[in-house]
Chains A and B, each alone.
Chain A
Amino acid sequence: MSKFKKKKKGLPAVNTAALPDIVFMLLFFFMVTTTMRETSLQIEAPRLPSATEIKKLEHKSLVSTIYVGKAKDEKYGTGYNRIQLNDKIATPDDVPAFILRAREEVSEAEIPFMTTSIKADKESSVGTITDIRLKLRDVNALKLSYSTQTGADN
């Protein structure tokens, strides 16, 4: 019996005292990098089409986003062509006002660099996008970005 007892010297337990520190470090990292969504979506989160030839959007403050997709509220119908500006479902006619208001928030020198990002669902129709595009052209908001997912290169 003593043979067995000798073997049982036992490894010292791993010291986990620093574990909370590590976890807190991770926690702070995520807390700092987290960005909460500013506008609540009135439409179902658009399923973005995927593409490979994409450019990153820089200067978040200069980007105004237009959502296109299916409204959560049934009274707007079930088509994928509802437009959301800020917090409301809107029509293409509201786009110029939306852009002009966004322009008020930036300095004059930065206006030419403002970009409009369209986040539209895969099943939206091109007609809706074209309507928005024409309205954007009316107010000279010429930089446009079709938001997409990064797709696999085929």
Chain B
Amino acid sequence: MARRDTPEINAGSMADIAFLLLIFFLVTTTMNVDSGISKKLSEKPPPDYKPPIIKEKNIFEVNINRNNDLLVEGEEMKVEDLKEAAIKFIDNGGGIGKPGEDGTPGTACDYCEGERSESSSDHPNKTIISVQSDRGTEYGAYIKVQNELLKAYTVLRNRLSKQRYGMLYTDLEKRYKDSRGSDKEEFKKKVEDIKTSFPQIISDAEPTSAN
């Protein structure tokens, strides 16, 4: 009777240990996917570069001063109203658009639903949004303005996409990303079409310095 049964290891607290580890990893995990407002910088112009002449009426001027106040086209405005103002401006369609790259003359904007006022922008593809900020402007305010402007474009693109392809532009983009093979080509064409109809031209003017 020398053989003694080895007592079973008590595994009752194993769950506790595992929980402890689990909670540790739960707390330390950061699942944030990096996301942000993407922007493409313009290339550095050559020294003898002459900026093209752009008609005043095609520029939507947004100024942010050092107190984070907004001046849009010479008038004070709240950030909340910026989107509407931008939509109105881009969507105006008062004249003819840029001539095509192959030399075809520009056409009037047939998908614009704006007022077609003479004194506002000619065509979405001619419209330039220029954001000028002060060096002392808060970054948060700057991002807010950029976001509102992008929102304006999204609204317009969604509208056009709904008319042409029966779905929102945001959905169209998502489908394009998820699709494979020949579908992808088709979606790509649609996305490009919407993109060129409402190109996002948001330029950052040199900031004024606060002295």
Contacts and interface: CB of A to CB of B under 8 A. Distances in A.
Interface of A: 16, 19-20, 23-24, 26-27, 30-31, 33-37, 49, 51-57, 60, 63, 68, 115, 117-118, 120-130, 133, 136-138, 140-148, 150-151
15 contacts: A20-B15, A27-B25, A34-B29, A57-B34, A117-B36, A118-B36, A121-B139, A126-B138, A127-B134, A127-B209, A137-B43, A137-B44, A143-B38, A146-B37, A147-B34
Contacts of A122: 138-140
B142 A126 contact: yes
Nearest to A138: B44
Contact of B147 (A51, A115, A143): A51
Contacts of B144: 49, 51
B133 interface: yes
B30 interface: yes
Contacts of A142: 40-43
B207 interface: yes
A148 B150 CA distance: 14
A120 to B, nearest CB: 5
Contact of B142 (A52, A129, A151): A129
A54 B135 CA distance: 24
Contacts of A138: 44
Given A20-B18, A34-B25, A126-B134, A53 B139 contact: no
Contact of A49 (B29, B30, B139, B154): B139
B137 interface: yes
B136 A16 contact: no
B15 A19 contact: yes
Contacts of A30: 22, 25-26, 29
Contact of B151 (A36, A53, A123): A53
Contacts of A148: 35-37, 143, 147
B33 interface: yes
Q: Is the interface of B mostly helix, strand, loop or mixed?
A: mixed
Contacts, number: 149
Nearest to A121: B139
A37 B104 CA distance: 54
A26 to B, nearest CB: 6
Nearest to B29: A34
B43 A55 contact: no
B34 to A, nearest CB: 4
Nearest to B143: A49
Q: 9 tightest A-B contacts by CB?
A: A127-B135, A122-B140, A53-B150, A30-B25, A147-B36, A51-B147, A23-B18, A49-B143, A57-B34
A33 B135 CA distance: 40
Contacts of A129: 139, 142
Contact of B137 (A31, A126, A145): A126
Given A54-B37, A148-B143, A123 B138 contact: yes
A146 B36 contact: yes
Nearest to B151: A53
Contacts of B43: 137, 140, 142
A23 B38 contact: no
A40 to B, nearest CB: 14
